[in-house]
Amino acid sequence: MKPLIGITTCRKTFGPFDIGNHAASDTYVTVTDRVVLGVPVLIPANGEAVDVETLVSRLDGLILTGSQSNVSPCRYGGDPHLAGTPEDQMRDAVTLPLARAAIAAGLPVVAICRGFQELNVALGGSLHQRLQDLPGRLHHSNQDHPDVAIRQGKAHDVDLTEGGLLHRLSGGGRRARVNSLHNQGIDRLAASLDIEALAPDGVVEAVRVMATPGLAIGVQWHPEYDFETDPLSRAIFVAFGRAVRSRMRGDMLPDDLRVRSVRASAAE
Ligand SMILES: N[C@@H](CCC(=O)NCCCC(=O)O)C(=O)O
């Protein structure tokens, strides 16, 4: 049996009848089909109607996807957004409890862009709302650029944490080049997250959940855009698929995907 991979969606209104839809980019479905080798299962952004327990008991892995909307600041005690900032509170009501339950159940999780921000908020962290308003930050927000090559292309370097999972998946390289399509970024890091990568301006670019029997990793960039050409992007989804299959067999996470917590090591 192939694994069932949950893919979160956003509420979007489009189409000839102007009716609400539950949408995720095709890139998440494609990478699940081609690299994770699972069956993609789109999870509706149906707010309080979500049945988290049933989803977590049936799914074998979870991708928390990117999307243009922001996590509502009421979820992390932040100030209200600037007028016109897109939110999706129906999605927040699904993804935040789902992320917590998935991690508690040891379900492998990959969290991408908005999903990465959701992971931090779900575990008690907070967000900066507009990195571009903070002094000394790189330009992180290519998401509105009209040229797809710039919008989806590599934008800046990240430094991979020595001894982290991404460091290992990169074959020992300490630097990777990533795309960048976000305005928000991690402010207060959730206590249960280890930093896996930092941008040169100090923005947290990747995290890993420390105490989970599964593999739970989040990246602020989009590895699903270039998994055909970028070895680290592909390696993230290969590792996720391996973690999913070992959990289905009832095995421990493979040794090469197990990483000692950098925070815990520093505290010793
Ligand atoms: N609100 C966040 C969301 C950034 C994000 O996920 N962008 C991805 C857009 C492309 C997609 O839909 O996959 C922010 O601006 O920081």
pLDDT band at 120 (very low <50, low <70, confident <90, very high): very high
Q: pLDDT tens for residues 152-207?
A: 999 999 999 999 999 999 999 999 999 999 999 999 999 999 999 999 999 999 99
Higher pLDDT, 141 or 4: 4
Dist CA 92 CA 146 (whole Å): 28
Annotate 78-89 with b (16+ C-beta within 10 A) or e (fewer): beebeeebebbe
Q: pLDDT tens for residues 236-267?
A: 999 999 999 999 999 999 999 999 877 766 66
Say whether 113 is catalytic.
Answer: yes
Q: What pLDDT does residue 266 have?
A: 67
As beta bridge partners, residue 15 has: none
46 lines ligand 1 (CB under 6 A): no
Residue written as token pair 């969290």: 111
* Ligand 1, pocket-test mutation among 134, 182, 183, most atoms within 8 A of CB: 182
Is pLDDT of 32 > 80?
yes
Rg (alpha carbons) of the chain, rounded to whole number: 17
Q: How many structural domains are present in the chain?
A: 1
Q: pLDDT tens for residues 57-102?
A: 999 999 999 999 999 999 999 999 999 999 999 999 999 999 999 9
The CATH number given to whatever domain includes residue 170 is 3.40.50.880
* 153: containing domain: 4-267
Distances 65 to 113, 137, 159 between C-alpha atoms, Å? 7, 24, 23
Ordered DSSP codes for 139-198: --BGGG-S-HHHHHS--EEEEEPTTSHHHHHTTS-SEEEE--B-S-EESSPPTTEEEEEE
Say whether 10 is catalytic.
Answer: no
Say whether 22 is catalytic.
Answer: no
> ipTM more than 0.90?
yes
